[in-house]
Chains A and B, each alone.
Chain A
Amino acid sequence: MTAIANNSAAGPVTIDGVLIDDAELKKRLDKAMFRSRFRAFLLVLPLLLFVFFSFILPIAYFLLQGIYDNSFSSKMPEVTRALKDWDGSSEPTEEMFAALATDLKVVKADKTIGKVATRVNREFPGSRSLFTSTGRSINSIEAPYKESLINKKKKWADIRVWQGMKTASRTWTPGYYAAAVDLKLNADGSIEQQAEKRRIHIKLFLRTLKISFLVTLFCVALGYPIAFLLATLPAKTSNLLLILVLLPFWTSILVRTTAWIAMLQSQGVINDLLVYFGITDDGSRYSLIYNQLGTLIAMTHILLPFMVLPLYSVMKGIPPSYMRAAKSLGASNWTAFWRVYAPQTIPGIGAGGILVFIVAIGYYITPALVGGQEGSMISNFIDSHMRQTLNWNLAAALGGVLLFVVLIFYWLYDRIVGIDNMKLG
């Protein structure tokens, strides 16, 4: 043990019988502080490393593909070099055609021509077959390459193929992010709006925001009354009723989605009841599912507990005497609620609302199962790009935009509620 004797209020101190001055004391104190900070940090370090290597780094690596694409430049180095000096609008030169013939022979031989064709096809739709069919007879192509390639396939004279290749030859490219917000990167590096019928992403983002916003709104509208009821009832009753909120919370999302299919489908419980009560006849059952309505209902149900629980914990902390005081001062029930009670619940609405919104905006499973075409969200679209069109770069760019929106709300949540105030159950 270290024996410390303080001789006077601010004078020199003896430690282990050695007299030390203030500077030395400060140094030792700093050292001790550093050690304890370091020890605390050591406790966090394992998780930090784990999260870094199996979460942060993989996601950063995935998002990198939104701006990095060497699928053309690595396979077609000669063309890439030749295209570098090309202005993107003048007549393609013989050197460019020669480079093309050289590269095509290589990619044909190592069977990667399909990848190259896919890449250019993204920039200029319809050029895939041009590559594959030229590839089949590439060995018969001889100098002069320009004439011989154009003789083989007239389309090689089309300048848009070359523009597409120039755009595709960029290794670091803003093209995918531009595409994610319905813009188009041209061969000369300029950016313009996508053609009217190909502007689909902004619409999809707006739809995703709209669905998330409506779900949040419904959650507030449905969550507020029951949180209020739970907070004002005697503890015995409210704990029982709380089970009705917690049981859905703990039940698998798949189970709840399945349950909503059973409820909402045309032969489902709701429609059966409506027919039974004569609200609609058997022939004209409502389509409540596989559309936006289905997504809204099922997502509101799934996310409602995320709203109720923070609201409930805020409301429980509001002393009932405030309302009583307001009433005794002559306020009507409504005034007492609206002017005294409601303002105090705003932190709860903020906490629950932002949480619901953040979770809703990235939702995948429920829209995929009950949303149909018009009820699907941006996550579903990202997924289909990875699974069906295999355009991981565009998926990464769309994911980057989505993540950016989510992080803004995460930051907002931290500002308003504070991440260390997050509670569960």
Chain B
Amino acid sequence: MALPAYAGWGERLWYYTFRFICGLIFLFLISPILIVLPLSFNAENYFSFTPGMLGLDPDAFSLRHYRDILTNGMANPDRLTGWWSDAWNNAQWIRSMRNSFFIGFFATVIATVLGTLAAVGLSRSEMPYKKKLMALLISPMIVPLVITGAGIFRGFSDGARLFNRFGAWMAEFGGLFAWIGQKLENFELVYTHLGVILSHAVLGTPFVIITVTATLVGFDQSLVRAAYGMGATPLRTFFKVQMPLILPGVISGALFAFITSFDEVVVVIAMASVEQRTIPRQMFSGIREQISPTILAVATILVVISIALLATLELIRRRGERLRGVTPT
């Protein structure tokens, strides 16, 4: 939309006004995220810029809030021996970071495997009730999280009771049954990692379905028939023919599923105890209880992580376009 040479002054005025407005909107989008970065280096315990920071006084900046991330909750932050293991095991933020990655990883694996399979099935032309099934499987993305959280909390806690009762019944039989029965008797989903992983996996699947289905739209089904025709088993066809072509969709779906889990807090509030606290959960209570710049330091780290994810996604997109013979833009 370059300005033509013959444009009149009115057109010129509108052209620049429009760009100015767009600039302001972009500023609105990006400024809150950028503002977090310098604020996190605040030497004071404030949530706003100090006069020293505005005057670029080096003493007004410090890494104390980053140190705080590492040491907060440690048994003995001043002792040098065993410092790292102390931080790894006891520091609050490090523990929530471990939880976030642990839960995110397994939720992503479950969501990606099940979601990809379902998307492949849903993209087949012979699939019955395609639209209805799709609407059902996408619904975790649509249902308000408070309802999902409450439902999963109630359902999982009372559902586990069923397992417990079944386990108690099974334990009567002795031998291997008794062993399994005992396990089932103590089975819990609420306030366990497994429960949070399962609920996050459900929330992540719609994204995998959407991205994988999108890559399958251009997929030539005769390739599958050709592979069958040459004697390949369905499994081999899937991994050797279909998978390489839909891989970009699978990876970006997995990234979406991961970020969904990594960012999710409502279900974690409902489902998790202190043992399963994730970063967003820790931030949530941090903002509610005592707002400190440590949260901004964590936020800065998270922004860096999302930049990394975004860059990965962009690389995948370009690779996908190159493979399909489109020149990357």
Contact = CB atoms under 8 A, between A and B. Distances in A.
B259 A419 contact: no
A229 interface: yes
Interface string B102-141: 0000000010001101101110101110110111111110
A59 B133 CA distance: 18
B22 A225 contact: yes
B137 A51 contact: yes
Nearest to A257: B287
B48 A58 contact: no
A301 B32 contact: yes
Interface of A is mostly: helix
A365 interface: yes
Interface string A21-46: 00000000000010011011111101
Interface stretch (A79-87, A97-105, A140-148, A238-246): A238-246
Given A61-B154, A269-B35, A399-B147, A254 B280 contact: yes
Contact of B122 (A44, A246, A247): A44
Given A58-B156, A259-B36, A362 B146 contact: yes
Interface residues of A, number: 93
Contacts of A304: 29
Given A43-B117, A48-B133, A259 B35 contact: yes
Which has the most chain A C-beta neighbours within 10 Å: B126, B147, B279? B147
A43 B121 contact: yes
Given A252-B280, A256-B33, A423-B214, A247 B310 contact: yes
Interface of A: 33, 36-37, 39-44, 46-48, 50-51, 53-63, 65, 222, 225-226, 229, 232-233, 235-236, 239, 241, 243-248, 250-263, 265, 267-269, 272, 301, 304-305, 333, 358, 361-365, 368-369, 379, 382-383, 386, 392, 395-396, 399, 402-403, 406-407, 410, 414, 419-420, 422-425
12 contacts: A41-B127, A54-B156, A54-B201, A58-B154, A62-B150, A229-B19, A252-B262, A253-B280, A255-B299, A269-B48, A365-B284, A410-B139
Closest 6 CB pairs of A and B: A58-B155, A362-B144, A43-B121, A59-B151, A259-B32, A232-B1
Given A54-B155, A222-B28, A250-B259, 5 more contacts: A62-B151, A229-B1, A254-B283, A304-B29, A423-B214
Interface of B: 1, 11, 14, 18-19, 21-22, 25-26, 28-33, 35-36, 39, 46-49, 110, 114-115, 117-118, 120-122, 124, 126-128, 130-131, 133-140, 142-148, 150-156, 158-159, 198-199, 201-202, 205, 207, 209-211, 213-214, 234, 252, 256, 259, 262-263, 265-266, 279-280, 283-284, 287-288, 291, 295-296, 299, 302-303, 306-307, 309-310, 313, 329
